[in-house]
Amino acid sequence: MSTSDQVKTSLKCDRIALVTGANRGIGKEIARQLAERGIMVIAVGREPGAIKKTADELGSNVVPLVGDIRRVDQCALLATLVEQRFGHLDILVNNAGIIGNMAATDFDLDQLRDVMETNLFGSIQITRALWPLLTQSRDARIINLSSGMGSLADQQRGNYAAYRLSKWSLNGWTMLLAGDAPSNVQVQAMCPGWVQTDMGGPGAERPVEKGAETAVWLATEKELPSGKFWRDKAVIPW
């Protein structure tokens, strides 16, 4: 993938955001809401056709980039493309994620590795690749899409062991990164709730607009404490 293939001509915006898993569901809605607020959004997805279609639908404030956050080389290439086109990054939304439905007693190590590779290591890899660009921002925001299923208080319910463990670990990494980050980089985790997406299913209680709301608020609200776990714009227990 080259710069000319990946980046389309776009309007000048003061704030630049990158959203992973932006071709559908919560990620696509976060991209839409950020773009409506005048933020230039880099929408990242693995499928070229799907992510280009998303960018076309969402308008000129959305730029499509193809990449797989599970691959270190593609994360590095994404960072190079962002630097070449924009020179810095203000907002990173680590939204890309997959589900795993096995109980802990099933010991499905293949599923565990697959879920952890996307939900935890993928988020860490893309953040590491983009870190130099984020630290150039006067007010950088990193928002990790977690889940109430990643709360320690929720771990005894059983099932979805790989998914729970991945989000539990993502929450822990959020706290660690927030503690080590410079003052101009804010790091948050958030639970979108049970949302009507391909992952959440049609029986979910929340529309996608509500699921994206807190992420957009965390990306744009002033003077928030860093290193917290949020739902519906309020801090919730780890």
Judge whether 222 counts as a catalytic residue.
Answer: no
Catalytic residue of the set 53, 167, 210, 222: 167
- The secondary structure of the chain as a DSSP string is --HHHH-------S-EEEEESTTSHHHHHHHHHHHHTT-EEEEEES-HHHHHHHHHHH-TTEEEEE--TT-HHHHHHHHHHHHHHHS--SEEEE---------GGG--HHHHHHHHIIIIIIHHHHHHHHHHHHTTSSSEEEEEE--GGGSGGGGGG-S-HHHHHHHHHHHHHHHHHHHHS-TTEEEEEE---SBSSTTT-TT-SB-HHHHHHHHHHHHH-SSPPSS-EEETTEE---
Catalytic residue of the set 52, 160, 163, 228: 163
121 phi, psi to nearest 5 deg: -65, -35
- Rounded to the nearest 10 degrees, how much is the dihedral formed by the CA atoms of 2, 65, 35, 141? -100
Judge whether 167 counts as a catalytic residue.
Answer: yes
Kindly list the catalytic residues.
163, 167
